[in-house]
Structure 1
Amino acid sequence: MKIIQFKDEPLAHYSYAIISNEQMAIVDPSRNVKQYYELAEAENAKITTIFETHPHADFVSGHLQIHRETGATIYVSKLVEANYPHKAFDDGDVLKLGIITFKAINSPGHSPDSITIIAEDDAKNYAMFSGDTLFIGDVGRPDLREKSGNMKSKREELAKSMYHTIKNKFNHLPDNTIVYPAHGAGSLCGKNMSDDASSTLGKERNENWAFKSITEAEFVDHILKDQPFIPSYFGFNVDLNKAGADSFELSSSKPSFQFQVNGFNENDALVIDVRNHDDYKKNHLNKSINIKAETEDDKFETWLGSIVKPKESFYVVLNSIKDRDDILNRIAKIGYEKQLKGMMTLAHATFESSEDFNLEAFKNDLDAYTIIDIRNKSEVEEGKFFESAIPIPLNELRDSKDKIPTNKPIVVHCAGGYRSAAGSSIIENMLDDVNVYDLGDDVSEFKD
């Protein structure tokens, strides 16, 4: 059984190709379908099969595009009620691909329509593609579909479903079954995932908290506690994936582009500046928000989809023309390319700048500042860096103007500096008569 794992680093998303007898199946594909085509060419394999374990919330799947361009059949649970061409794949359904037999297990918990794909070859090697049901060291969160996906499934009900899935659905599988999840550490689809890209079912049975001997009530209490925030784009992506996204190619998405602009006259427009924090602070368009996208370590997709609402139009300021295609692809991964009105680079003209921050003055008189802590609620509950700080999570900041006092200069902090750049730029946009500072990575000096 030949299995190739693909990783989308910013979203901590894993997808898979399984090859047998020059046929290829793909599990939970990302929107970048080119990588699967390149593999098929290299392996002289025909893409015949696409499995979707559930309608994903955190990224746009390329399943419909692959179907249209290769003729491959999409398999998904009938419970999804998918609006694209597909075949139902649920408990008891079997599919052969060369020497590999695929079986479906309905595994509700993360969503009511989740399935786990079991692969077995002639040598009795087993693999399970667990989607967002079983992660390495954790299980999928059950609270993402409560108000999304054109449906309401209460988190308590899904948490109970997850308990019964983990306790009952996989008992027939051997310990040496390889576990391949759809996400790893860094994804918002779970809370305590391992950095490991795969595991065995035996190891998870021994080490994963969800397999421990606990009651349903204890399981539900644990899984619902301290879950991360839900980005605003998650429900939008569930609906998009249930319908099937349009094919995306750079040539088919045509936001306007301006090179080395000297001015920008759309005063009410939302502008996202993806340059590094220092360049942004030195010179940026008025009312722009700084969400850095320099490397794959930057969680640009997540924060773009948390700060910008679905269907809200926006512009993007680039560092260089060289970044244009990459940023457009990253925007498309969460389905926001149709909201993008234009992209631009800045000329050497002088626009706006952020106030320089005097760290020593801040250290000497903390009470002279209003401190805004934009970390997530679960982070704040683990401990404050400043006792007087006002906690407002970054994803809620644009709607929180009335919660921010303006009688003192404002200092914004997060845990490491990435989010505080976005947060301070948002507050600068909202408040005109007060200085706003980004504590940045200097926050490390205030940690215990």
Structure 2
Amino acid sequence: MLLERIYDEDLAQASYVIGCQAEGEAIVIDPRRDIAIYRDIAEKNGMRIVAVTETHIHADYLSGTRELAAATGATVYVSDEGGPDWTYGPDFDPAVRMKHGHRIQLGRISIEAVHTPGHTPEHMSFLVTDGAQSDKPGFMLTGDFVFVGDLGRPDLLDEAAGFVNTRFQGAKDLFASLRDRFLTLPDYVQVLPAHGSGSACGKALGAIPTTTVGYERNFSWWAQYLRNDDEQGFVDELLSGQPDAHAYFARMKKENKLGPAVMGEARDRDLREFTAAELRAELDADRVVFVDTRHHSLVHEGTVERALNIPGTAKSASYGAWVVDPEREARPIVLLAESAEHAAEIRDHLVRVGIDTVEGFVTSLAGLDLVRPLVIQPGELDGFDRALLLDVRNLTEYSAGHLPGAEQLSGGRALWNLDRLPKDGTIVAYCQSGVRVSVTASALRSAGYDVAELDGSFAAWSAVPGNVPTSELPVAA
């Protein structure tokens, strides 16, 4: 049996290729939209991708299930559990819709769908049995059900998809899924989750890629509540301290349920290299969105007016989803990139969150009109005339300590909550060290807001003698 984990450090997301070497057949579970890596693995191992499936309707990235099936002819398998509100849309009509216990057979490899609601109502985990070695399952692909040291959060439907108080039933469902589906398995079963440390789909995910049923049974934070049959204690602990959900999660939920667009051949097209004169004409006519991909310290030395800052490649999907909303922004994107290959790599990251409009790139800002974003030093803050002091970190960070008088709106939500921001006057914004605030400030400037960044952000301000953070939270009106 072939079992290979493909991990996206950008979105902290794992997908898996499982293959039967005797039959030359493979299945991909939870694929992303830039699918070349799966086809390369299959080709390297002399396999055909004959099946593709996913554990649930994802919120944090756009699924590549339809993309991969269109490219390979693979059969699609999706959950048919959870009720009518969680049924995949008509674009999935050719798919096999699975109930609990459905089996996918690849030679002697059996993959059994196990309904494990909690994170979402339709969620499936997959028990994998390598029949060449045993007649018992040795692996469970748990998706967003069980992580290493943590569990999938049940509040995302409230936080990101517009539902009300589904978190409580979701938490109870998760308790039952652990009791009735997970803890009934032998200790030796290996657990392969869909996310790792850094994902917003849980609050304390481990960085280790795998675990076992036995390890989680004995050492996870939640095991004590299951041993004591303490459902309410479990619910209370699970729902407390979850990180902010990014606003783009709502779009991912909707598109993944209906059916993500298939890019096809456009996925691999060459990007156009713009000359400075060509780009200047497009910018003057407001026909393109420009993305500066440099570190914020370089952006502060000068960038294109209203440029978006998506620093580097490593987190370009994560930050790109903060600053580009494809539902409201249809203009093509032009990147500042080191080369055509660099631009294509960033594009591959952006399509993972449904940003499909990258058209071209430039390798230099020479010949373009540049502006310097407003940056103030920590020592200037007290005397600076501002309309709002804005903390763009997560609520958990803000609650642990923030600048006195600051209001919190995380960077992943800012563009979707402009009504909370003053249109007149200057907003002074900060994060922990300066990266997230540069990303967020660029989006707000592009939307027409006057934003100054606090140089060095919270870390620099806290290092000034006499500056003391507060943990007092605003009193609700």
TM category, shorter: 0.7 to 0.9
CA distance in 1, matches of 2:434, 2:19: 43
Contact 1:357 1:439 (C-alpha < 8 Å) held by counterparts: yes
1:265 — aligned with what? 284
Which residue does 1:94 correspond to in 2?
Answer: 103
Work out whether residues 250 and 325 of structure 1, in 8 Å CA contact, stay in contact via their aligned partners in 2.
no
1:160 correspondence with 2:172: yes
Name 1:203's counterpart in structure 2. Answer: 215
Decide whether aligned partners of structure 1 residues 239 and 65 sit closer, same or farther in structure 2, where only a CA change above 3 A counts.
same
Aligned to 1:9: 9
Question: Which residue type is aligned with residue 324 of structure 1?
Answer: A
Q: Which SS does the other structure have where 1:301 is aligned?
A: helix
Please give the alpha-carbon distance, in whole angstroms, between the structure 2 residues aligned to 1:31 and 1:435: 34
Moved more, 417-426 or 128-137: 417-426
1:47-79 CA distance string (max 9 Å, x none): 222221112111122222322332322222113
2:399 maps to which residue? 381
Q: Judging changes above 3 Å, is the alpha-carbon distance between structure 1 residues 420 and 101 closer, same or farther for their aligned structure 2 residues?
A: same
CA contact (8 A) 2:70 2:264 kept: no
Cα distance, 1:426–1:310 mapped onto 2, change above 3 Å: closer
Distance 2:36 2:350 in 1: 17
State the alpha-carbon separation in 1 of the partners of residues 432 and 395 from structure 2.
Answer: 12
Q: What is the aligned partner in structure 2 of residue 145 from structure 1? A: 157
Give the distance between the partners of 1:104 and 1:291, measured in 2 at CA: 38
The reply on whether 1:303 has 2:322 as its aligned counterpart is: no
Alpha-carbon distance in 2 for matches of 1:95, 1:425: 47
Q: Which residue of the partner structure matches residue 81 of structure 1?
A: 87
The Cα offsets for residues 300-324 of structure 1, whole Å up to 9 and x where unpaired, read as 2122223332422243331334322
The answer for the alignment partner of 1:424 in structure 2 is 441
Deviations 1:125-177 (A, max 9, x none): 51000011111111111122348779878222212211111122123311011
What is the letter of the counterpart of residue 437 of structure 2? S
In the alignment, which residue of structure 1 is the partner of 2:18? 18
C-alpha separation in 2, matches of 1:295 and 1:415: 20
Aligned to 1:35: 37
Kindly tell me: are residues 266 and 152 of structure 1, through their superposed partners in 2, closer, same or farther at Cα, counting changes over 3 Å?
Answer: farther
Q: Secondary structure at the match of 2:275?
A: strand
Q: Alpha-carbon deviation of 1:357?
A: 4.8
Q: Which residue of 1 aligns with 2:249?
A: 234
State the SS of the aligned residue for 1:423: helix
- Equivalent-residue separation in structure 1 for 2:180 and 2:251 (angstroms): 32
What amino acid is aligned across from residue 331 of structure 1 in structure 2? L
Deviation larger for 397-406 or 87-96: 397-406
Within the alignment, does 1:275 sit opposite 2:294 as a pair? yes
CA deviation string 1:233-291 (max 9, x = no partner): 22222232232430444566688763323452145965433222233222222222222
TM-score normalised by L of structure 2 = 0.82
- Higher mean alpha-carbon deviation, 175-184 vs 217-226, is at 217-226
Matched, 1:312 2:319: no
CA contact (8 A) 2:145 2:152 kept: yes
SS of 2:412 mapped into structure 1: helix
Give TM-score scaled by structure 1 length: 0.87
Question: Which is further off, 180-189 or 156-165?
Answer: 156-165
| CA distance 1:429–1:121, shift in 2 (3 Å) | closer
User: Counterparts of 1:239 and 1:222 in 2: how far apart (Å)?
Assistant: 29
- Of stretches 413-422 and 321-330 in structure 1, the one that deviates more from structure 2 is 321-330
The 5 Å alignment of 1:343-362 reads 343-344=361-362, 346-349=364-367, 351-354=369-372, 357=375, 359=377, 362=378
C-alpha offsets along residues 173-232 of structure 1, whole Å, 9 cap, x if unaligned? 110110000111111111110001110111111122222225222222222222222223
Find the aligned partners of 2:2 and 2:309 in 1 and give their Cα distance: 42
Paired position in structure 2 for 1:327: 346
Unaligned segments of structure 2, at least 5 residues: 464-468, 470-477
Q: Which moved more, 1:95-104 or 1:258-267?
A: 258-267
**Letter matched to residue 234 of structure 2:** F
SS in 2 for 1:128: strand
